[in-house]
Structure 1
Amino acid sequence: MYKMILAILSVTVCYAASAQQKLKVIAIGSYNCENLFDTVDDTAKKDEDFTPNGAYSYTQEVYTQKLHNIATVLEKIGTDVTPDGAAVIGLVEIENSTVLADLVAQKEIKHRNYKYCWFPTPDERGISTAMLYNPKYFKLIAAETLPVPLETIGQKRPTRAVLHVYGVLAGDTVHILVNHWPSKSGGEARSAPGRMLAAKVNKHLIDSLMAIRPDTRILLMGDLNDNPTGEPVKEVLQAKADKDDVTMKDLFNPWINIYKKGMGTESYRGEWGLIDQIMLSGSFVENNTGWRYYRAEIFNKEFLTNKLGKDKGLPHRSFTIAQVWDNGYSDHFPVLVYLVKNAD
């Protein structure tokens, strides 16, 4: 049997009977890196803006600083709870394997020996989803992409595929789905069918897996370009907001209630949206053995936010609206969920 060495952090959970239980904890993250491109023009993609002579003057110096900034975020997420940070991180807006190799080699996170999964997808700009994993916690078994065929609903512009990763997370077999659903470009009504289709691609795989084994452990994450109360999440994925309502075959979405409190991961026209989410299959809620859901967190630390002006408190993005490098991080905050397991 595959054995993993865990960094154990004792946390205390108070139950109704006031009993205390020491637990192991693991962090799972998701982060939209906001256009993490290299500086090379890919003639097959529309990535010219992110080249030295492009609209963003994306020089090697800017690229190097962007890598450092993103690595700084990845270094810190989850460390309030576990010193090893996030064991698995879904990434959005990644151009290629080159930037991933450069990212994991950054001094801030090099010591964690992160590995990555990535496949090219049909997106015209060349951005894809990816997944980093710490081999101390995660053993990769297989990975694939699931196309989101927008042409079947009459849309010509291709979108990102769903990254499906299968492996062992600190002793538990899991399926991880990393998403970047079609944006709302062109308006809500015009773009909504694309997100509905992306949700259906996820739902089809989830239902197929659960038909074979209802207690399958699944993590669905990424930038959904829709809030937790949106139709794709509510009607297609049928995600539940409250743990008490979750059965083994359901998806649990802790972000629904967080969003209702007015919190978000990105802001558009002065309104917070919580489009970055991590959902969990019912086995992370119902099971008393193995890893189970503990809590969710928007990683909106002060160093990631704007300090002044009308954008105070918003994510400090990489570039200004005028496309000038602002030495920021991303226009999204990362999100995290923590899983716990009884200590030996």
Structure 2
Amino acid sequence: MAKIKLLIRVIIFMFLSTSGFAQANKQIEVACIGFYNLENLFDTIDNPAVRDTEFTPMGRKNWDSKKYMEKLQNLSFVINDLGAETSPDGCAILGICEVENRKVVEDLVKEKKIANRNYQIAHIDSPDKRGIDVGLLYQEKYFKPAHIRSHPLIFKDNLDYKTRNQLVVTGSLLGEEISLIVCHWPSRFGGQAASEIRRIQAAKLGRHIIDSLFKVNHQAKIILMGDLNDDPVNKSIKQYLQAKSKTTKVKANMLYNPMYDLYKKGLGTLAWGDAWNLFDQVLLSYAFLGSDYTTFKYFKVAVLRKPYLFQTAGRYKGYPKRTTAGGKYLGGYSDHLPVYITLVRKVAS
């Protein structure tokens, strides 16, 4: 059985490699699903309801229309590249975070580089005090949402602590029902250990959402993605989300974390203190595993690591090239690298 599974994956890999993208063979369908922390995608308008003053022309970042437009253009360049080596359409679905409001996302999807993909938007405002939200972009020719809802993360010990909601979108991916949970868990401000309880609570909320979906359909196809502010080895993910590092250890109600092996190899999505973390993750439910490729199955995971995404000189050489750092405008992309998974299935003959 193991040899048969390996042979199937080798055949699929050959199709993907030799054609450039699977659709050209008419024998395999591909869907790329990604996540990207857009690092403070703010407009230039002061919103008195949130703490966004620094991202205004009079704020300390001197955030003006020129910088905003360059930020949009840069992000669209990255999104255009994400998943493009396996599908000419790039990501069919893309989770995003650190967006100020729906309007900035609308501006982003209109950018020339990705406008022809006609990305639609799922977004619900969060109570985060900085005003940053999560969202979902999707191409309608691949994915059609049926239900969009938002789950607040409430801390009973501190009701004044406002953070991002978890966005849940259920719909049809080329005829198959899937549910996507987009997250941006609380940061490590104050230190990893001191702040860990917040991310554990975020994991408990995610687990509650997952269990609710399984209650409706025990074979549900679920993808949880986001900037989790924890690595694959942290207990918020391993213990509370019940995400396993090996497919052989995943049971029907658990998740598989394909990012684990990347992390163990030293790959990350953001750099801090001359070390890499892999906070941006995409986790999958059991139904995406196995060798029955008549339905969409997980094939591979990747971190986009194009040379243009990195600083090439100075103290932070080799780090992701940010929009701003140390009070200086760098004209970069994000302090995070984007990630994506590839799903494949055989076309019925």
TM-score band (shorter)? over 0.9
In the other structure, the counterpart of 2:342 is: 338
Give deviations 1:240-272, integer Å, cap 9, x for gaps: 111122223210001111101111000111110
Which residue matches 1:198? 202
Out of 2, 6, 15, which is 2:6 matched to? 15
Question: Cα–Cα, structure 1 residues 54 and 168, in superposed 2: closer, same or farther, change >3 Å?
Answer: same
Question: 1:256 maps to what in 2?
Answer: 260
State the partner residue of 1:115. Answer: 120
The offset of 1:213, in angstroms, is 1.7
Look up the match of 1:130.
135
Listed one character per residue, the Cα deviations across residues 59-96 of structure 1 (whole Å, up to 9, x for unaligned) are 00000000001111111100011111000000010100
In the alignment, which of 260, 272, 279 is matched to residue 275 of structure 1? 279
Structure 1: gaps of 5 or more residues: 1-12
Give the count of matched residue pairs.
Answer: 330
TM-score for both structures, normalised by structure 2 = 0.91
Query: Quick check: 1:294 aligned with 2:299?
Result: yes
**Structure 1 stretch 80-89 or stretch 13-22: which is displaced more?**
13-22
In the TM superposition, what is the alpha-carbon distance from 1:17 to its structure 2 partner?
A: 8.1
The farther-off stretch of 14-23 and 105-114 is: 14-23
Q: Is the 8 A contact 2:56 2:63 kept in 1?
A: yes
- The 8 Å contact of residues 153 and 193 in structure 1, kept in 2 or not, is answered as no
Provide the rounded CA distance (Å) in 1 between the counterparts of 2:94 and 2:339. Answer: 10
RMSD: 1.6
Residue 298 of structure 2 aligns to which amino acid in structure 1?
A: Y
Task: Find out whether 1:185 has 2:189 as its counterpart.
Answer: yes
Secondary structure at 2:289 match in 1: helix
Q: Distance in 2 between matches of 1:278 and 1:25?
A: 17
Change beyond 3 A, Cα 1:19–1:222: closer
Structure 1 stretch 333-342 or stretch 164-173: which is displaced more? 164-173
Residues 248 and 286 in structure 1, CA contact (< 8 A), matched pair in contact too: no
The corresponding residue for 1:303 is: 308
Residue 140 (structure 2) pairs with residue 149 (structure 1):
no
80 and 16 in structure 1: CA distance in 2 versus 1, 3 angstrom threshold: closer
Which secondary structure does the structure 2 equivalent of 1:15 belong to?
Answer: helix
Deviations 1:182-204 (A, max 9, x none): 00111223311111111011101
- Structure 2: gaps of 5 or more residues: 13-26
TM-score between both structures, scaled by the size of structure 1: 0.93
Tell whether the 8 Å contact from 1:176 to 1:219 is kept in structure 2 after alignment.
yes
Aligned-residue identity in percent: 38
Change (3 A) 1:45 1:19: closer
Q: CA deviation at 1:24?
A: 1.7
Deviation readout 1:122-143 (Å, 9 max, x if unpaired): 1001000000001110001110
8 Å CA contact retained: 1:246, 1:286: no
Alignment pair present for 1:85 and 2:84 = no
Cα shift at 1:206 = 0.7
Partner of 1:97: 102
